[in-house]
Structure 1
């Protein structure tokens, strides 16, 4: 028998210690004679963070797959707009439910059948969804089962709110820590919305544009395109999208932009593709300095020399002789430079570096 008070206490503890959510979801499911549970956060049209009880095998792969985006379950759950749990068959016919991707791609293959869920809006514009599943062969959720789950819903909603606020405080602390060492920074979600920002980046109006809905853009259109691509891939540790690149302000000043995925956030309920944007002003004495190029794109010393040589108009053979290596090695290093800078041709590399790193011309008298 699950003790109500003990489970409520566990739910609130999980708000600040996400490692407790799996246990809380297990006990919540057990209170309704169910196999297991999941707590998820949804932003816009995608799942951005989740924790689940150990019994929910395969749910991680499903939520990361294209199939999860085709499910009607979250759409119908939100459309029902009920401040409580709903049995799946309240918003689906039995045939529709077992034909939905949540069942065909995850539930049924893992021996799960009926489900109940609730959606709770958060002040961060996220929704927290709690989903409880039963094994195949168990009956649908009866009104008494729903009432038992509903008794925990206010506590789940408040814990979700606390988790969201706790996360925002951590993000603010991260941006302020960077301000102490002189770095303008903002914490962005995957849509480019600023969740927290320090005062230094707020004054960088030549470089940073503040758009409606707290979204952030760069004044340099080429750099802004790279930022959008990097944000789209921020949740993928294997992404090859450049996350450090040069940018020019509307006043001609040069800066280096870094997008840094929030390390360790995968254990957070609200891990949703969060990253730190750092816009560091630089003063360049020469346009093609290999050390500057290396720092901008996280190149090795050899890769930086190749990039500098290409922009200076040297052939691969000339670069190889200068470095005391072979053209084949230089070609391999050039491929790595392309991957890190986000371009695919030598002419594009020249255009990127020569146009972005060239110091601004002095104003005419």
Structure 2
């Protein structure tokens, strides 16, 4: 146990940039430091937000740990320890004799012959309760716990810096995703496979605030109309499990809870999205919605086609499916004046009929509900 090899250090920093590589990196770290398995973890107040990557540990027991045993004698103790500390957690909690009386020991530790767990605590987790690296020692390896702890202390600068890098990279990815979502003129949001909303643009926030079709329940996206929930959850889950099918998104019509037109949703796979500081090694789902309450924005029509303000307002009414007579009444102008504006719009947009104009404008990006045209 003379420290980390160059190969392990290379794997460690590669995992910081690609969370799918944590398993191999942790296995290499365990070998270097005299442990049979290792993990990197972040324990969040909401267990569903916790993250754990493991190397050479039983994946079924890892899932059981996340589902049932995140709060255990050792994790409770670690919450109060100082960042950067290296310690033998089982010994601090009384060792095997004390822990052997717990279900945590019989269900998680004993099946893997864990005789000691050592920890390097990471300090700057934000909202997380505790976390960092943990190494599992079997009875033979536990005899060299002192040497292992010394090696872990020497390796701590690289280990800590790797999480620093992962957090920085995850933040950059999230910022890029947020910028991308804001370029989408339609309501859009990014979720995990379980429907937990990670990011949303302004349009998506507006849809959630209205609550007519979608709302948040415990951080998860759910359909307000109960009959639509199963289809929504299935589509999101399928998108997250089949990233290779990103070119075949699912299209749903999500019914409104109190009646009215449905919200149309396109749900496709999103690339790997880090939802916490050390990432999540699977893709999520990208939802793009069409709010039936949206109307063309006259400002956008002016920008695109060089319309005057009056022409843009008449065009927006036609795009919303109104007749020219209705448009003239809403704008408070004579029918002949509205017709003159409409003829000018035809020439500037390059169409010859109201139907062609409405069809062309319906394909344009929407900028939310157009209250200007609702007079």
What range is the shorter-chain TM-score in?
Answer: 0.5 to 0.7
Following the alignment from structure 1 to structure 2, what is the Cα–Cα distance between the partners of residues 225 and 45? 16
1:96 maps onto 2:98 in alignment = yes
1:159 to 150, 162, 173: 162
CA drift of 1:202 comes to: 2.9
Residue 271 of structure 1 pairs with residue 280 of structure 2: yes
Residue 299 of structure 1 is matched in structure 2 by none
Q: Secondary structure at the match of 2:41?
A: strand
- CA–CA separation in structure 1 for the residues paired with 2:13 and 2:292: 46
Deviates more, 1:170-179 or 1:261-270: 261-270
Q: Which of these two proteins has the greater Rg computed from alpha carbons?
A: 2
For 2:72 and 2:262, the matched residues in 1 are separated by 45
Q: Report what 1:8 is aligned to.
A: 9
**2:118 matched residue in structure 1:** 116
Q: Is 1:185 matched with 2:188?
A: yes
1:63-82 matched pairs, under 5 angstroms: 63-64=65-66, 66-82=67-83
Q: Aligned partners of 1:237, 1:182: CA distance in 2, in Å? A: 25
Q: Residues 254 and 282 of structure 1 are in contact (CA less than 8 Å); yes or no, is this contact kept in structure 2?
A: yes
1:124-139 paired onto structure 2 within 5 Å: 125-126=127-128, 127-139=130-142
Report the RMSD for the aligned CA atoms in angstroms.
4.6
Mapping of 1:349-364 within 5 angstroms? none
Pairing 1:40-55 to 2, within 5 Å after superposition: 40-46=41-47, 48-55=50-57
Q: Does the CA-based 8 Å contact 1:71-1:101 persist in structure 2?
A: no
CA separation of 1:14 and 1:184: change in aligned 2, threshold 3 A: same
Q: Partners in 1 of 2:132 and 2:104 — Cα distance?
A: 14
Shift of 1:16: 0.8
Give the Å deviation of 1:115: 0.9
* Corresponding residue of 1:202: 202
1:35 deviates by: 1.0
Gaps of 5+ in 2: 223-232, 241-251, 296-368
TM-superposed CA distance for 1:152, in Å, is 2.0
**Aligned partners of 1:114 and 1:141 also within 8 Å:** no
Q: TM-score, normalised by structure 2?
A: 0.56
Aligned residue in 2 for 1:307 = none
Structure 1 equivalent of residue 173 of structure 2 = 170
Q: Which residue of 1 aligns with 2:291?
A: 281
1:40–1:50: 8 Å Cα contact kept in structure 2?
A: yes
Looking at structure 1, the residues matched to 146 and 140 of structure 2 have their Cα atoms a distance apart, in angstroms, of 18
3-state SS of the aligned residue for 1:133?
strand
Closer, same or farther: CA 364–33 of 1 in aligned 2, 3 Å: closer
Per-residue CA distance 1:253-275 (angstroms, 9 max, x = gap): 98557787756559994229966
Count residues with an aligned counterpart. 271
Are the counterparts in 1 of residues 187 and 288 from structure 2 also a CA contact under 8 Å?
Answer: yes
The TM-score with structure 1 as length reference comes to 0.57
For 2:288 and 2:54, how far apart are their aligned partners in 1?
Answer: 33
Q: Shift in Å at residue 40 of structure 1? A: 1.9
Distance (Å, rounded) in 2 between the aligned partners of 1:261 and 1:91:
45
> Contact between 1:11 and 1:21, CA under 8 Å: does it hold in 2?
yes
